[in-house]
C-alpha cells in the first residue's frame, strides 16, 4: 500500500490553513483573515487510525475579481484531482454556499475521485442548520466542523481514511525505477531528458518555467527500465508569482514523494543556491536516493584543481546529505550524459539494499565497543539488537532500553558506521529506536 495524498481545497478564507495546521499538529501555514494569504504549497505528514497520509494545503489564491477567483479555483481543483487520492473540499458554513463552491463541486464530481465535503466555522449547534444547503453540491453528506476549536475533526478524518480502501493502487512494476529530475527553472532538466530518450518529448526553452507540469517519459536501457519525471522548475517562494507556476510546484513535490531516485540538477555557472538546498533538503527528509548533476560544465574555465574544488564546495553546501553521488555533465554537448543512468542505477541499488540481521549486529556491536553511547541524565543508552525492517529506503530498527537516552550525535555515529560497513552511497537511510524492556 503506497502513501496516500489528501488535498485540502476550497475558496479563499474558508479556513483551509487553520484546518491544515490542526491536522499537521503544528502551525506551518500562514493564517490570516485576509483571503489568499497561504503563499506557498505546504506538505505535512498526518496520521489517523493507523493510516499515514500526506496532506497538501493547496492555498495560494489571490483574488482580484470573481472571474479570477473561479479560474484559480478551477486550476486548484485540477491539481488536487491529478495529484491526490482523496480531496477534502472545505466550505464556509457561516457564509453559506457560493457560485465558486458550485463550480468546483461540479469538477470534483466529474473527476470520480473521493471527496469529503467539510463545512467549516460551525462553532455552535444552532448553526448546524446551515449544513443543509450544502447537500445541493451533490457531494454526499456534509460534515460540520470548527477548525479553530477542533470540533468534528474525528468524524471528518474517519470519512477521509474510509476512502483509502476504495482508492485504486497504481499498477507499479517492481522493475521500473521512478526518477524525478529536480531543480530551479532553466538548469537543463528537459534538455537532458530529451537527450536520454532521444526525442523532443519535452518543450525546451531558455525562458525559465517552460515546463509547467511533471511529465513522465519511459526509458529502457541496459541499466534497466525507468520512468523519468521532468518536474517543473521550483523557484524561490517569493518569486512564485503566477498561480499556474505555484501549482506546478505541488506537482513537483508530489513527484519527489513518489520517486525512487531524485536527481538535483544545478547550473555550474551558479553553483548551489539556497533554493537548491531546499529542494534537495525535501528529498533528503524523505530519505530518497539522491544524485546531484552539475550541468553546463562545458561553460566553466578549468585548471587541474577546478573539479575537486567545485565538488568540495558542493559537498560543503549539502553537508546534511553527505551520501549524494555526483556527476558533472553538459546536456547541450552530451558530455558524460551517457553515464547518467548508470549512476542513477547505482543510487537505486543502494536504496533497495538489504543486509542480514546477523551482519548488522556484528557492525553495531563493534561500533559500541569502539565508542560507547554518552551518559544522558545519569543513564546510558543500551542497544540490545538491530534489524533491517524495510528497503526503499533502507530502514533499521534499534531495540534499546530507553530511546530518550539517544543523543543526536550518537545517532549520526551509528549511521556513519552502517554506511562505512555497507556503503549506501547515493541513498538516505532511516534509523528508528524502540524501547525493549531489559529482561
Q: Which residues are annotated as part of the binding site for GTP?
A: 10-17, 57-61, 120-123, 183-190, 230-234, 295-298
Q: Which residues are annotated as part of the binding site?
A: 10-17, 57-61, 120-123, 183-190, 230-234, 295-298
Can you tell me the distance from the alpha carbon of 15 to that of 341, in angstroms, rounded to the nearest whole number? 45
Sequence-distant (≥ 6) Cβ neighbours of residue 344 within 8 angstroms: 177, 179, 223, 226, 261, 263, 291
β-bridge mates for residue 35, sequence order? none
Can you tell me the distance from the alpha carbon of 104 to that of 11, in angstroms, rounded to the nearest whole number? 9
Closest CA to 230 of 251, 199, 207: 251
The burial class, CB within 10 Å (0-12 / 13-18 / 19+), for 312 is: exposed
Phi, psi of 236 (to 5 degrees): -60, 140
Question: Any idea what the Cα angle at residue 58 is, between residues 54 and 60, rounded to 5°?
Answer: 145
Terminal CA-CA length for the chain = 35
Phi, psi of 406 (to 5 degrees): -80, 120
β-bridge mates for residue 400, sequence order? 383, 435
Per-residue exposure over 102-131, b if at least 16 CB sit within 10 Å of its own CB, e if not: ebbbebbeebebbbbbbbbbbeeeeeeebb
Closest CA to 107 of 39, 19, 37, 10: 10
Amino acid at each position: 500500500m503506497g502513501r496516500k495524498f489528501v488535498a485540502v481545497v476550497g475558496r479563499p478564507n474558508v479556513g483551509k490553513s487553520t484546518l491544515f495546521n490542526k491536522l499537521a499538529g503544528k502551525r506551518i501555514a500562514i493564517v490570516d483573515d485576509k483571503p489568499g494569504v497561504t503563499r506557498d504549497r505546504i506538505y505535512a505528514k498526518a496520521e489517523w487510525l493507523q493510516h499515514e497520509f500526506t496532506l497538501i494545503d493547496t492555498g495560494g489564491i489571490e483574488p482580484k475579481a470573481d472571474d479570477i477567483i473561479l479560474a484559480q479555483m478551477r486550476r486548484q481543483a485540477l491539481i488536487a484531482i491529478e495529484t491526490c487520492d482523496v480531496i477534502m473540499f472545505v466550505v464556509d458554513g457561516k457564509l453559506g454556499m457560493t457560485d465558486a463552491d458550485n463550480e468546483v463541486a461540479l469538477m470534483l464530481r466529474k473527476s470520480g475521485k473521493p471527496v469529503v465535503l467539510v463545512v467549516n466555522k460551525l462553532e455552535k449547534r444552532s448553526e448546524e442548520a446551515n449544513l443543509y444547503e450544502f447537500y445541493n453540491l451533490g457531494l454526499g453528506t456534509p460534515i460540520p466542523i470548527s477548525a479553530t476549536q477542533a470540533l468534528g475533526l474525528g468524524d471528518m478524518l474517519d470519512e477521509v481514511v474510509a476512502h483509502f480502501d476504495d482508492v485504486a493502487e497504481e499498477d507499479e512494476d517492481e522493475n521500473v525505477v521512478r526518477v524525478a529530475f529536480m531543480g530551479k527553472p532553466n538548469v537543463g532538466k528537459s534538455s537532458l531528458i530529451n537527450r536520454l530518450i532521444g526525442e523532443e518529448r519535452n518543450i525546451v526553452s531558455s525562458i525559465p518555467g517552460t515546463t509547467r507540469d511533471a511529465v513522465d517519459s519511459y526509458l529502457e536501457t541496459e541499466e534497466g527500465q525507468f520512468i523519468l519525471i521532468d518536474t517543473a522548475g521550483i523557484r524561490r517562494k517569493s518569486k512564485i508569482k503566477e498561480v499556474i507556476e505555484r501549482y506546478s510546484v505541488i506537482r513537483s513535490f508530489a513527484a519527489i514523494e513518489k520517486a525512487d531516485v531524485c536527481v538535483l540538477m544545478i547550473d555550474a555557472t551558479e553553483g548551489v543556491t539556497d533554493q537548491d538546498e531546499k529542494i534537495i533538503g525535501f528529498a533528503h527528509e524523505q530519505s530518497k536516493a539522491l544524485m546531484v548533476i552539475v550541468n553546463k560544465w562545458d561553460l566553466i574555465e578549468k585548471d587541474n584543481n577546478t573539479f575537486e574544488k567545485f565538488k568540495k564546495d558542493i559537498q560543503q553546501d549539502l553537508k546534511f546529505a553527505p551520501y549524494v553521488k555526483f556527476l558533472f555533465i553538459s546536456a547541450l554537448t552530451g558530455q558524460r550524459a551517457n553515464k547518467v543512468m548508470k549512476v542513477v542505477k547505482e543510487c537505486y541499488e543502494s536504496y533497495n539494499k538489504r543486509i542480514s540481521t546477523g551482519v548488522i549486529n556484528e557492525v553495531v556491536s563493534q561500533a559500541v565497543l569502539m565508542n560507547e553511547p554518552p551518559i544522558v541524565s545519569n543513564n546510558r543508552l543500551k542497544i540490545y539488537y538491530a534489524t533491517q525492517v524495510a528497503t526503499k529506503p533502507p530502514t533499521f530498527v534499534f531495540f534499546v532500553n530507553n530511546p530518550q537516552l539517544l543523543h543526536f550525535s550518537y545517532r549520526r555515529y551509528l549511521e556513519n558506521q552502517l554506511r562505512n560497513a555497507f556503503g549506501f552511497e547515493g541513498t538516505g537511510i532511516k534509523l528508528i529506536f524502540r524501547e525493549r524492556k531489559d529482561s
